[in-house]
Amino acid sequence: MSTISHDVLIEYYRAAFKPIPLSKDAKTPNVRGLLTPDEEDKSREESADGQIHEVSFIYNRPEFWTEERIKKEYWRFDNVATTLGKTLLTDDQGKPLYLNALDIDSEQVFTILGRLSGPDGKDVYFIDEMSKNTFVSKTKKRFGSISFGYLTNNTNQSEPDTANTGLNLK
């Protein structure tokens, strides 16, 4: 049984995340059998090697998840990550929004962004401020990895990697 409720997963979905179910190790996508037979055929057609690539399929389809599908498949989520890229959300002008991430994984960057000087000369604690305004994911490493998810009209054109699906949301 999942350690994450479908209500939490639906919150992530509504916030523009494209959930990827992860196994207990928090690394391995738990996606075998997730696609319908038609989706498996499309995945094979789209892949360079003729194999099924579930994470890439989700990455390329912001419409993949629905609330109903999440309720049906939530049992797969011992942990959860997200892919980045195009979401179902649009801006005020109807342009698509893309989920991107800023990843801080070095002491130098952590230190630089830890405390900045604001326009009024007062200290601004960047990580604390970002935690109020966006989703922040932190690992157990001392200086990272800290990832900030944010929406923008710009996209990063990189392809997903099943070993690094984006932000780890749990």
**Phi and psi of 162, rounded to 5°?**
-60, -20
Q: Mind listing the pLDDT tens digit for each residue in 45-95?
A: 999 999 999 999 999 999 999 999 999 999 999 999 888 889 999 999 999
Looking at residue 41, its pLDDT comes to 97
Categorize the per-residue pLDDT at 100 as very low, low, confident or very high, splitting at 50, 70 and 90.
confident
Looking at residue 154, its pLDDT comes to 76
Q: Mind listing the pLDDT tens digit for each residue in 106-147?
A: 777 777 777 777 788 888 777 777 777 666 666 666 665 666
Q: Mind listing the pLDDT tens digit for each residue in 8-54?
A: 999 989 988 899 999 999 889 999 999 999 999 999 999 999 999 99
pTM of the complete model: 0.75
Looking at residue 20, its pLDDT comes to 95
Q: Distance (Å, rounded) from C-alpha 74 to C-alpha 9?
A: 8
Looking at residue 7, its pLDDT comes to 94
Domain ranges across the chain: 6-152
On the question of pLDDT at 164 being above 70, the answer is: no
Triad 120, 100, 76: Cα angle to 5°: 130
Q: Distance (Å, rounded) from C-alpha 12 to C-alpha 16?
A: 7
Print burial letters for 33-55: b (CB count within 10 Å at least 16), e (below 16). ebbeeebbebbeeeeeeeebbbb
On the question of pLDDT at 168 being above 60, the answer is: no
On the question of pLDDT at 162 being above 50, the answer is: no
On the question of pLDDT at 152 being above 70, the answer is: yes
Contact (CB, 8 A) for 106 and 144: yes
